Structure 1
C-alpha cells in the first residue's frame, strides 16, 4: 500500500507491475482512497477492462473520476502531456491540492508505436515535474510485451506493490534513457524517393513540390495537410537553426508517407525537445515547430552525426 499523504508536491511518477486483477486492486484502490482522504482528486484513466475492475472496487464513490483512456492518452504524446497539465490545473482550481491518477497508456500494437510511448514515459518525468500530479502507471505483466514492461521499469523512479512503495533501482535518468532508444528502421527508405531536393534554396518551390506529391496520394485529406504543415515547420527550423545545405527526401506508399529533412548543423542536444513549446507558455516567442510536428505526425525521429542533423517525419495516410 502507498503511504498516506505521500510526496509533498510536484510530479510523482510511480509504477505498479501486476500479474492479476487482485494485485491491481490491492494497490490501486488504496492509492485512490488514501488520496481522497488527504484532499487529493482521484482519477482513473485506463483501458476498459481495468476501469471496470477499479470502478467495481471503489463502488459508486462520485469523487473517483473515471475518464476514457483515449481522452487522456491522446494519439500523439505531446497532446497527452498537455491534457495532464490541464487536468491538474482544473482540479487545483476546484480546491484539490493534487491529482492522483491511475493511468494505463495504450502502447499500441507494434514495436514502432511502442517506441513513442516509451519516450513519453521518460519525457514526463521532466515535462510534468512542476505539476501537482501523482501518477500510478499500471502495467499488466501477463498481457503487455516484455519490451513495454521493461520500458516501465526503466522510466519510473518508484515502484509500488502490495508490500509498499520503494525506490526503483532499475530507473534510468530520463535523458540517458531517451538517448539509448534506437531509431526504428523505416522500410520505405529502401526504395527510391518520390521527391529528392538537395541544397534547397527555393523553399516556396519546395513546398509546392511536396504538396504536389501529397495531392497525388490516395490518403485522408486532413492527414496529408497535417503532414505538409509539419514538413514546412521542419524545413523552416533547418534554415533558422541549422546550417546549409538543407536536403529533403520524401517517400510514399499506399498507406503512409515519410520525409527526411537534413541540415549540416550541430544537431539537437536536448532529448526533451519538442514535447512542449520551446519557450513554455509564452507562445509569442515562437519555438513551436518541433512541438507542432510531434502533434501533426505519427512519428518524429531525430538523429545527429558528424554530417549534421536529420528529422524524419512519418504518418499514416488512412
Structure 2
C-alpha cells in the first residue's frame, strides 16, 4: 500500500500518487500552478506532460517561469500502448533518480479518452506498487469533459490520493492494485466444451501446439501467440511437472489458457510491471505486451493464465 503524503508535508522519499479530476479552467490553474511553483521553491525538477488545454493554461499563468520546467511536453505524442508507455516512463524516472533526490510530475494521460487507451487504468494502478520507492510526486490530471464515467471511476480506484478542496486527501474508493486488476480483467468463465487441450512438459511442445492450433485466418498473429505462450509455459514448468494448454475462439479473440499445479504466482502485477533492466523477471511482461488482454487465476493449488489475441 502506498503511503499517503500530501504536498507540503511530502518528505520527498517515496511516491505520492494523486488523481485530480477537473472540469473547468480555473480548477486546473488553482491546482496545477501551485503544484509547479511549490516544486520550484523546493528546488525539485518539475515535469509537465499534458494535453493542449492544460499546456495553454500553464503557459498563460506561468509566464517566464515556464522556462524553468524540466519537461513541458505534449501528452498526445507519448502514447505507444500501455506497456511501452509505462516502460518509457520507467526509464525516464530511473534516469531522474540518478540525477535528482526528488522531483514532481504533472501528467495528463489524454489517451484514456480513446478506446485503445483505456488499458492505461491498469498501469496507473500498478504504478502504486512498482514505483512506490521512487522519490517523486505524481499529479495525474483527468478532464471530466472528455473522459467517460467508467474511466473517471477507475481514476478513483487507482489513485491513493485525490484533491479535496484545499489539500490532497486519501481517496476512499482506492483499491489495492491486485484487487483492481482482478476486477477489470476479462471475466473468467468456464472453458468451452470445444476447446483443444494438450498436456506439455517442455516449451517446445507448446510452440508446436500453438502453430497447429492457430486458425488460418489469424496466422498474422502467429509470432505473438507462439512467443507469449512460450513465456507463460516456461514460467509454469518452473513450479510444475507439466502444464495444460487449452485454446479456443471466443468471438474475435483467440484464447490461450496455460494451467499448472504449482504454488501460485508470487505477484499478479508482474505482467504490468516493467522488468528490472539488469535481472528482473520479464516473461509475464513480455507475454502481456504481446497479447491484447490477459486474465489470471492463482492460488496455492496452481495458476491459470489466459491470453487473448484479436485479429
- TM-score, length basis structure 1: 0.79
Separation (CA, whole Å) in 2 of partners of 1:13 and 1:23: 19
Q: In structure 1, how many angstroms separate the alpha carbons of the residues matched to 2:255 and 2:144?
A: 33
1:7 alignment partner, one of 7, 11, 26: 11
Residues 29 and 54 of structure 1 are in contact (CA less than 8 Å); yes or no, is this contact kept in structure 2? yes
Partner of 1:262: 259
Matched residue SS, 1:300:
strand
* Corresponding position of 1:239: 237
Match of 1:44 in 2: 48
| Aligned counterpart, 2:144 | 141
Q: Which residue of 1 aligns with 2:197?
A: 197
Cα 1:36–1:211 change in 2 (3 A) is: farther
Alpha-carbon distance between aligned partners in 2 of 1:243 and 1:113, rounded to the nearest angstrom = 38
Query: Could you say if the C-alpha distance between residues 243 and 206 of structure 1 is closer, same or farther in structure 2, counting changes exceeding 3 Å?
Result: closer
1:291, distance to aligned residue in structure 2 (A):
1.8
Identify if the C-alpha distance between structure 1 residues 71 and 229 changes in structure 2 by more than 3 Å, giving closer, same or farther.
Answer: farther
RMSD: 3.4
In the TM superposition, what is the alpha-carbon distance from 1:251 to its structure 2 partner?
Answer: 3.7
Instruction: Give me the TM-score of the superposition, normalised by structure 2.
Output: 0.80
**Offset at residue 229 of structure 1 (A):** 1.0
From 268, 272, 289, the equivalent of 2:269 is 272
Q: Count matched residues.
A: 303
Q: CA distance change for structure 1 residues 184 and 290 in 2, over 3 Å: closer, same or farther?
A: same
Q: Secondary structure at the match of 1:303?
A: strand
Residue 288 of structure 2 aligns with which residue?
294
The Cα of 1:230 is off from its aligned counterpart by 0.8
Unaligned runs of 5+ in 2: 1-5
Distance 1:296 1:203 in 2: 17
Instruction: Tell me how far 1:191 sits from its aligned partner.
Output: 8.8
CA distance in 1, matches of 2:27, 2:42: 23
Q: Secondary structure at the match of 2:200?
A: coil
How many Å apart are 1:101 and its aligned residue? 1.3
Cα distance in 2 for residues equivalent to 1:313 and 1:39: 45
Structure 1 equivalent of residue 3 of structure 2: none
Q: Is 1:184 aligned to 2:178, yes or no?
A: no
1:174 maps to what in 2?
A: 177
Q: Which moved more, 1:300-309 or 1:146-155?
A: 300-309
Match of residue 95, structure 2, among 90, 97, 122: 90
**Residues 24 and 161 of structure 1, relative CA distance in 2, 3 Å threshold:** farther
In the alignment, structure 1 segments of 5+ residues that lack a partner are: none
**1:38-117 → structure 2 map (5 Å cutoff):** 38-59=42-63, 61-64=66-69, 65-69=71-75, 72-77=78-83, 79-93=84-98, 95-105=99-109, 106-107=111-112, 109-110=114-115, 114=118, 116-117=119-120
Deviations 1:281-303 (A, max 9, x none): 442xx632112112222322111
Structure 2: how far apart are the matches of 1:92 and 1:36?
17
